[in-house]
Amino acid sequence: MKSLKAQHSILADAHKQIEIIEHGQNGDFALVPFQQKLEQSNLYPLKPTQIEIFQVNIGKMCNQTCRHCHVDAGPDRREIMTRETMLQCIKVLQNNPRLQTVDLTGGAPEMNPNFRWFVEEIKQLNRHVIVRCNLTIILANKKYYDLPQFYKQHNIEVVSSLPFYTQDRTDRQRGNGVFEDSIKALNMLNEVGYGREETGLVLNLVYNPAGAFLPSSQALLEREYKEALMNKYGICFNHLFAITNLPISRYLDYLIQTDNYETYMEKLVNAYNPVAAANVMCRNTISVSWDGYLYDCDFNQMLELKVSCNSRHISQFNMNELNDRSIIIGQHCYGCTAGAGSSCGGAVA
Ligand code: SF4
Ligand code: SF4
């Protein structure tokens, strides 16, 4: 268990993280405030365009403890969304037809005992469902072996992180043996038809950099991944999402431990792209935490920055009020606006 403990975020306290993100480790690190950049781009205050994506974190429990996890998830986390909170989510979906996409995340969302029931209830409302599946969960226990069939039966879009197409880089970030199991799981998904154009069963992969650097071109990486995975393992998938690591949670720990925090932040600020800023995901997404609170995004959720309006909990969900709020921003937001931008669906610019 030593490695598990070691990988848990040292900076679990959200307030401490915000202090460091804003002012550096010694409190004297000053970069152009993100707000100023938005003002120059005529985007401040940052407002939603229209909320269409309902992202729900149904628990922090995970079978893995990846080095860069911004959720600080792991097998010993006990925060799990209850069926009561799920019922409140379903009620919100019934009352808000503009919420066409439901994006289920975790932890490993499949570890929530009500996961399958929740998916089936949402599909009855005729919504597009995305599941952020970490791949290895499919092989973690025999009760998960049929997940590919379950996904297929409900036409779920599967989005899976595979930090790289080689074993060493993937295992370094996600743990020993993860690459091998991920390849097996991808084969199982391909076998039922995922990732093949003709079936319409969508399988997208996610790349994120292994160190303190920004992702290179998403299109180029996608080509490289497709070639490498097909040639070596016969695996196909639809698209690759290249995601920038945001300086929070375990990745912030990593930046501090390797003395890379300030240079990484400078890279993000220098790569600020106003087009990416106009398209940040918090403008059309609302993020629900395992205990039903509402956030602008998954990252603000981890920093415990709840939405800035009266609809702060799923039980108080008011679409007009949420569409009218100002999004809470901070220096971590530079991670979403650098280069081609970054979101749960990859580049945005
Ligand atoms: S699989 Fe995902 S949620 Fe689980 S520890 Fe890794 S990054 Fe975090
Ligand atoms: S970190 Fe969240 S609030 Fe900030 S720009 Fe990104 S999505 Fe929006």
Query: What are the pLDDT digits (tens) for 238-273?
Result: 999 999 999 998 899 999 999 999 999 999 999 999
Can you give the pLDDT at residue 3?
44
Can you give the pLDDT at residue 292?
98
Which stretches does DSSP call E strand in the chain? 53-57, 101-105, 128-132, 157-161, 203-207, 240-242, 285-288, 294-295
User: Which residue, among 18, 7, 49, has the nearest Cα to 277 in the 3D structure?
Assistant: 49
Among 34, 273, 299, residue to substitute to test ligand 2 (most atoms within 8 Å of Cβ): 299
Record the pTM. 0.95
Can you give the pLDDT at residue 10?
61
Can you give the pLDDT at residue 69?
87
Measured CA to CA in angstroms, residue 137 lies from 55, 88, 267 at distances of 20, 27, 34
Ligand 1 first shell, C-beta below 6 A: 62, 64-66, 69, 71, 73, 106-108, 134
Can you give the pLDDT at residue 15?
86
Can you give the pLDDT at residue 327?
98
- Total length of the chain: 349
Can you give the pLDDT at residue 9?
65
Both structure tokens of 118: 């929740």
Can you give the pLDDT at residue 11?
62
Would you say the CB of residue 300 lies under 6 angstroms from ligand 2? yes
Which residues, given as ranges, of the chain have pLDDT below 70?
A: 1-12
Question: Over the stretch 130-178, which tens digit does the pLDDT of each residue have?
Answer: 999 999 999 999 999 999 999 999 999 999 999 999 999 999 989 999 9
Task: Evaluate whether 46 touches 278 at the Cβ level (below 8 Å).
Answer: no
Distance (angstroms) between ligand 2 centre and the Cα of 339 equals 15
Instruction: Tell me: cis bond preceding 107? Omega within 30 of 0 counts.
Output: yes
